Amino acid sequence: MDLADSRFRLPADLARELASNFETPLYVLDEMTIRDRVQKYQKALHASYPRTELSFASKANSTLAVLAIVHSEGATIDVASEGELRAAVRAGIPASHCHMHGNNKKRHEIAFALEDGVSHIVIDHFTEIEAIAELIKGRVFSTKYLLRLAPGDDPKTHARISTGQSDTKFGFNIVDGSAEKAWLRCHELGIPVDGIHCHVGSQLLDEEAQRAGGEFLAEFAANMKTKHNLIAERIIVGGGLGTKYTDSDQPVSIEEYCRSIVASMKPILDQAQMEPIIGMEPGRSIVGEAGVTLYTVGVIKTVPIAEGKSRTYVAVDGGLSDNPRPAMYEAKYTVEKVGAGTAEMQTVTVSGKHCETDSLFVDVPLPVDLKEGDLLQVLTTGAYNSTMANNYNRYPRPATALVRASGAYDLVVRRDSWDEMFGKETVPGDL
């Protein structure tokens, strides 16, 4: 194992105990890894700039225990729906410590956020500006507003998780003047715009795209001050820092990421005599490496694929219902056998049990003595696994266990029951 590898792994005895107590597939999160990542961000931001805010992108993992952990370390919560806001509140977090995103918020979602006292609503389009103006007319709310901007920055990442380029559903475009028009319209309507926001994409292994996004935002803020005396008290550059899924992934350090982005913005802000709060919204890079998924090996099958060639399939008791990312993004993961095995390895494809091709992990090395009943742990599954889980083929969504600082563990999400799965459905009496 790489000495710099910070990914959480379960020791064999604990993995077997958890699997025995809670069944597999099973998500497992490590409390101390999560806390450590939040603390690293806090220290790196504070070392780079005196006025900063760290907000956790809860879409990465909105498990209530995770939200409680990151908030206890001083992070605010970034929510992208009413459901995520309700999750934060249920975790004991005041709505005033949350800000709400969303490219197509319903009026009732905006109204709920306002009534609950959410700190900021991130405005995404002109129709939303008009809706907010109607909702707040004649009333006083504590909520302030950020404008989501599209800086025209196309990052090096998968197209489906790239969000900062001009051709995007998110935000107001800077280049075509929409961002300026949006701020002026908010000012005209009395909507208290506190600042600006962008998010250029996810799983960024270096800081270049985010540096460019930060520069775009700083320049726009300076321009708005010069032209209209509109002051951005807060500039949120989004999240996006990648995490280590496989040995070939080498993301830049949190310290360098924060330092570099702030350094790209500060000269522009200094020249404009501005000192806004600079915020970041990491998600994946806080919880991704803190999680593993445990599977139990089932059928192992070798099939011919060409003359003189074959492929070995190792089926596990999960699949795209507990991790759809390989099907959606061609995502790669590190897969390890739990416990000692032969040093001799073979290349296999780990497949799920769904009625699809469901190739979870293609061409991964596993010991040749792997057998039915063995446990596999898949690293770096703390982000976008449990939040994307579904009931395809009527499989129950997995439980989540949390390994505590003491070495003990708690069940923080129980496995779906059959009654829960079918409880919302009815059969009309005449059928």
Q: Which residues are catalytic?
A: 355
Please state, in angstroms and rounded to a whole number, the distance separating the CA atoms of residues 102 and 83. 12
Looking at residue 32, its amino acid is M
CA torsion, points 80, 85, 86, 91, in degrees to nearest 10? 120
CA torsion, points 217, 218, 222, 224, in degrees to nearest 10? 10
Integer CA distances (angstroms), 249 to 5, 7, 156, 234, 351, in order? 10, 12, 13, 32, 23
For residue 401, what is the DSSP state?
E
Contact 51, 278 (CB under 8 A): yes
Nearest in space to 249 (alpha carbons), one of 292, 294, 203, 200: 203
Question: What per-residue string of b and e applies to 215-242 under the rule 16 or more CB within 10 Å gives b?
Answer: bbbbbbbbbbbeeeebebbbbbbbbbbb
Angle, alpha carbons 18-23-24 (nearest 5°): 95
The structure tokens 């500060």 sit at 266
At 357, list the tokens. 């091709």
Nearest in space to 378 (alpha carbons), one of 20, 2, 21, 7: 7
Contact 309, 16 (CB under 8 A): no
At 257, list the tokens. 């990421």
